[in-house]
A and B are shown apart, each in its own frame.
Chain A
Amino acid sequence: MVATQETIDKVKEVSSTYKYGFVTDLEAEKAPLGLSEDIVKFISHKKKEPRWLLEWRLKAYKKWLSMEAPNWAMVDFPKINFQDIYYYSAPKTKPKLNSLDEVDPELLRTYEKLGIPIKEQEVLAGVAVDYVFDSVSVATTFREKLAKEGIIFCPISEAVQSHPEIVKKYIGSVIPISDNYYAALNSAVFTDGSFVYIPKGVTCPMELSTYFRINEQNSGQFERTLIIAEDNTYVSYLEGCTAPQRDENQLHAAVVELVAMNNAEIKYSTVQNWYPGDKEGKGGIYNFVTKRGNCLGKKSKISWTQVETGSAITWKYPSCVLKGDDSVGEFYSVAVANNAQQADTGTKMIHIGKNTKSTIISKGISAGKAQNTYRGQVQIQKNAKGSRNFTQCDSLLIGDKCGAHTVPYINQFTPHARVEHEATTSKISEDQLFYCLQRGLDTEQATSLIVNGFCKEVMKELPMEFAVEAQKLIGISLEGSVG
């Protein structure tokens, strides 16, 4: 790569101007424990980044130092020691196993229940696959197909090198480094993520998803994703997978930024199934994510669909800023919290342009002693005349030790707009369960069926191939919660 030596030099140059110098061993595979300016530089150096990006990271780091961790969410966890985290380690190759026989049978059972094909199971579980599957060839075919359309789809670290002007223009443009505590942290230390650029007039010919299922992302705990859709485009992107994911890193603080120009549509779907911890929540992932989309152009549309079943703690509010006139924001969410899981999730719809429309459908399911909070803000600004929002917020309780909370904020600064909010709370009734049992379904099948019925409006928004798996996943997440 051309920029390499130059970048290193620049990094060294920058670092030497700082008081404590650059003490970290640049050749190390892993940054030392903890977070400091040095660590930020180390990461940037490792990724051979241009100077502007390093400076941006350092600015974010300084900002982060001046900020406090938010405490308004309805989640409860011990204070995080940010000096007790490793912020960089070279992408690891997983320990290779020789066959599925060596894989944790528990994991295999889950794969099986999810109906994941054997070949994919092997890849997911890290089995050495000697037939030249697929993982490489599929990816290559994809890339070729996308390149033909002029679509850029690559790791963001690669985009920094190959298309620095686009990255520079848009990174932090939707979620500024000062946006919130975890976004600032992510900006300082993000390691990788995806970059998607759809040029004018192009409809992306495939779901940007299968690729990821096969090439399990190793972008670590501070993931950063940027998707830009130019005028008259369409792209559907799917993040995550239904297979349970474990990670030695407890804290995950991702940032996802979307930009939609005139008449562009971005559909972003997430299936999140990070390890939720044991029954007491021990060892589970803290998932603190900032996701936002800018509907910059007229008639642009951004649609978030999420199925959140994992993590010990979820703190996540995928949002839309509706700047372009006639732009549309959608949020479809299923959040399942079982055992000791805590989920505080929702969305923000900021209506700025005229005749902007937003729809929020949130389905929260609580079981065990879990707490599930919907937190949503709908803001209609002064000029957003003719705008409309519809919010439907439904909670389903399983058992009597769990909780569901709905916290809607509505700020309307023009009378020429319509905001509707509906909320319901229900339980799986004994009648419903018995009816299903009487037809021969077992308790788990019955629960899964009833819960999936409850979530149907959201599930139908998922790309087909994942909807089926996601349905099973919801069932599995609630196993043992009834009866």
Chain B
Amino acid sequence: MSLLEIKNAKLKIDDKDILKGLSLTVNKGEVHAIMGPNGSGKSTLSYMLAGRDGYELESGEVFLEGKSLSEMEADERARSGLFLAFQYPVELPGVGGMSFLREAVNSRRKFLGEEELDHLAFVKEARKVASKMFVKDEMLKRAVNVGFSGGEKKRFEILQMAMLKPKISILDETDSGLDVDALKIVSDGVNAQRNDDNAIVVITHYQRLLDYIVPDFVHILSDGSIIKSGGPELALEVEKNGYAGLINAA
């Protein structure tokens, strides 16, 4: 059974077709990269998967470990192990990072039938993970994403991923806004979480990220559907020639 299966997904926003019959299968242990021009529907796909209001499928279906997502709300999907690193992480004024993370982690643990972490145990764990990602403790004390630099926000997303230990992670342009060193740190953070039991979908514009997080498959998303799939070499081709040739050929 595949971990994630998207079957002929169609989705409209404001009467405009955005996803036009998109199919994708992700198995455990795999890393997939999705590339595609601006406005092609990459973020829309990630919102659809995460179950955001207004991003319901018009037709088609999505299965997470064989279970249809259509009846699951966003929070249920998250607790089931679906994680989305936002292209634009959202600020939560006054909400401390530590307490936010703790509620998130405990929701997931509860779902998994694991014991909830008490304050002390949690703080210890969070600090451990944070130090691996070179995230300062001080950042966990601040309000979630408030006043974070672009790069800090992205790092904090991956920190959350590391804490939540999702089955499937969708990273929407996590590399954008990262400096060279941060890109390496974040990529190491992601790679450290790869195992035979989970999978990662990275959405990116730049081949460079894929030097660090080496994908098993690369897909080109254009105008709401996947027009070409291949191995890492496909990303190099995009880097060299742009999308035009691929789109015309499709």
Contacts and interface: CB of A to CB of B under 8 A. Distances in A.
Given A445-B107, A453-B143, A437 B94 contact: no
B53 A434 contact: yes
Contact of A453 (B78, B89, B92, B108): B92
A435 B75 CA distance: 10
A440 B75 contact: yes
A438 interface: yes
Given A435-B90, A449-B100, A452-B95, A440 B79 contact: yes
A441 B73 CA distance: 11
Given A430-B53, A449-B103, A438 B74 contact: yes
A435 B86 contact: yes
Contacts of A442: 75, 107
A437 B78 contact: yes
Interface string B55-95: 00000000000000000011100110001101001111111
Main secondary structure of the interface of A (DSSP, over half): helix
Interface residues of B, number: 30
Interface in A420-459: 429-432, 434-443, 445-446, 449-450, 452-457
B92 A450 contact: yes
Contacts, number: 75
A422 to B, nearest CB: 15
Contacts of B91: 432
Contacts of B51: 437
B128 interface: no
A142 B94 CA distance: 36
B136 interface: no
B213 interface: no
A467 to B, nearest CB: 12
A437 B91 CA distance: 14
Contacts of A454: 93-94
Contacts of B93: 453-454
B104 interface: yes
Most chain B CB within 10 A, of A437, A440, A454, A457, is at A440
B66 to A, nearest CB: 21
Contacts of A439: 78, 100, 103-104, 107, 160, 164
Given A432-B90, A445-B107, A437 B95 contact: no
A441 B94 CA distance: 17
A202 B100 CA distance: 41
B107 A441 contact: yes
Most chain A CB within 10 A, of B74, B91, B164, is at B74
Interface residues of A, number: 24
A268 B218 CA distance: 63
Contact of A440 (B52, B89, B164): B164
A238 to B, nearest CB: 23
A365 B58 CA distance: 36
A456 B103 CA distance: 17
B170 to A, nearest CB: 10
A452 B78 contact: no
Contacts of B104: 439-441
A439 B86 CA distance: 11
Contact of B94 (A430, A434, A456): A456
B9 interface: no
A438 B52 CA distance: 8
Nearest to B101: A439
A450 B95 contact: yes
B92 A432 contact: yes
A452 B86 CA distance: 23
Contacts of A455: 94
A439 B89 CA distance: 12
A453 B75 contact: no
B92 to A, nearest CB: 6
Most chain A CB within 10 A, of B78, B94, B164, is at B94
Nearest to A454: B94
A452 B83 CA distance: 25
Interface in A13-32: none
Shortest 7 CB-CB contacts between residues of A and residues of B: A453-B94, A453-B95, A440-B107, A439-B104, A435-B90, A456-B94, A437-B74
17 contacts: A432-B91, A435-B86, A436-B100, A437-B75, A438-B75, A438-B78, A438-B83, A439-B104, A439-B107, A440-B78, A440-B108, A442-B75, A443-B75, A450-B95, A453-B92, A453-B143, A455-B94
Given A450-B92, A450-B95, A457-B94, 8 more contacts: A429-B90, A435-B86, A435-B92, A436-B92, A437-B51, A437-B75, A440-B104, A454-B94
